[in-house]
Amino acid sequence: MPTAKHILDPPFNIVRSSHVSLGVTDLGRARAFYEETLGLHVEDVSKDAIYLRGVEERQHHSLVLSKQPEPNAGHLGFKVAGDEELDKAAHFFRAKGLDHTFAEVEYQGRTLRALDPSGMPIELYFKMEKRERLLQNYEHYKGAQPQRLDHFNVFAPNVQGTMNFYLSLGFRLTEYAQEDGPVGRIAAAWLHRKGNVHDLALTNGRGPRLHHLAYWVPGPLNIIHLCDVMATTGYLANLERGPGRHGISNAFFLYVRCPDGHRCEFYTSDYQTMDPDHEPIRWSLTDPRRQTLWGQPAPRSWFEEGSPFGGTPSRAALFEAAVAVAD
C-alpha cells in the first residue's frame, strides 16, 4: 500500500479543520443564500465581510464571506492545540523552505499563514474569540440546521505527494481510492486529525483548488428539507449532487453551489477513527459504491469545477483518474 504509517508525535499539533474564507462578488446575495437558505448563523458583519458559524460552534466564525472582484477561496484554517504550537509550526515551515508569515487576524489573533508544498494557502491559530453556543437556542435553527464545519476537500494535482505532506503533520489516513493493479496510483485520500473520517480530503485534479467545504448537520432529514427549500425558492439549479449516501465515509450527503459557484456539502453520520491503530479502507476506482453507496456516479461538474485559491496558480493533475461520470 503506497501510504505511510500514522505519525503520533507530529512536529506540531493540529487539532482540527476550523474555518475558511470565500471571496464572493455580491455580499447581499451571498448572505441571502448562506444565512436564509443554508441556515448558517451570522455572527458579525463589516463593510467588506460577513462572519458565519454553525449553531454548535463556540468560535467566532467558521466561514468568512469577503467581497472580491472574482469568486475565490482564501486560506484553509486549522486550529492548533496551544499558542506554542504556532512557533513549532513556523520552525517546521522554515526548515522545509516553505513560505510562512505571522499575522494578527481579526477575531482569531496570532495566526501563522503558510503555503503547503502544492502552494495551497493554510492558516494556523489557537485563540479565536468565543461566542455563546447556540445548540439549544432552537429559534436560530434554519435551513439545513448546520451545526459545525466538518472538513475541507481540495483538488490536488499530486494526491500522493500532498497526502505524504499532511501525513508528516500527523494527519491520519482513513480511506483512499486507488487504481487497481500492483502499482495503482492513489486518486483520492481522506485524512483526519479530530477523530472522524476527515478534516481534509484530497481529490485528483487541477489544483490546488477548493473542491468543497462541508458542514455537519443533525441528520438526513435536514438535508432532504434543504432540497425541498432550494427547489422551491429559486435555487433548483444550485442543487448539484445528491442527496445520497457515500460509500466512502458512510456519510449521508448533499452538494450545493452558492450563487458564486463555491461548493458546500451537508454531511452527517460518518464514524469515529481516533484509535491509533485504526486501519485505512481501500476503495477500487472501479467500485461504483465508492462515490455513492447506491451506485449513482457524480456529475462531470463535480470532477472538474472548483474554487481557485486567490493568488495561487493551479496546475494539471499528474494523471487522469478513470472515474465514472454521470453523463
Stretch that binds Fe ion, among 211-219, 220-228, 277-285, 292-300 (CB under 5 A): 211-219
Residues 6+ apart with CB under 8 A from 79: 14, 15, 16, 18, 59, 124, 125, 126, 128
Smallest gap from Cβ 198 to Fe ion, in A, equals 7
- Report 289-308 residues binding Fe ion (CB under 5 A): none
**Structural contact between residues 224 and 244, judged by C-beta atoms closer than 8 angstroms:** no
Residue 249 near Fe ion by CB under 5 A: no
Smaller CB distance to Fe ion: residue 55 or 214?
Answer: 214
| Rg of the chain taking only CA atoms, in angstroms | 19
Rounded Cα–Cα distance for residues 263 and 241 (Å): 10
Other residues' Cβ atoms within 10 Å of the Cβ of residue 28: 9
Residue 144 near Fe ion by CB under 5 A: no
Q: How far apart are the first and last CA of the chain?
A: 32
User: Residues touching Fe ion: how many (CB under 5 A)?
Assistant: 3
Stretch that binds Fe ion, among 117-125, 162-170, 257-265, 287-295 (CB under 5 A): 257-265
Residue 150 near Fe ion by CB under 5 A: no
Smallest gap from Cβ 255 to Fe ion, in A, equals 8
Residue 73 near Fe ion by CB under 5 A: no
Residue 265 near Fe ion by CB under 5 A: yes
Query: Site for Fe ion (CB under 5 A): which residue of 173, 214, 230, 248?
Result: 214
Q: Which region, left, alpha or beta, applies to residue 145 given φ > 0 means left and ψ of -120 to 50 means alpha?
A: left
Smaller CB distance to Fe ion: residue 200 or 214?
Answer: 214
Query: Site for Fe ion (CB under 5 A): which residue of 145, 153, 196, 307?
Result: 153
* DSSP state, residue 9: S
Q: What are phi and psi of 313, to 5 degrees?
A: -70, 150
Q: Which residues contact Fe ion (rule: CB under 5 A)?
A: 153, 214, 265
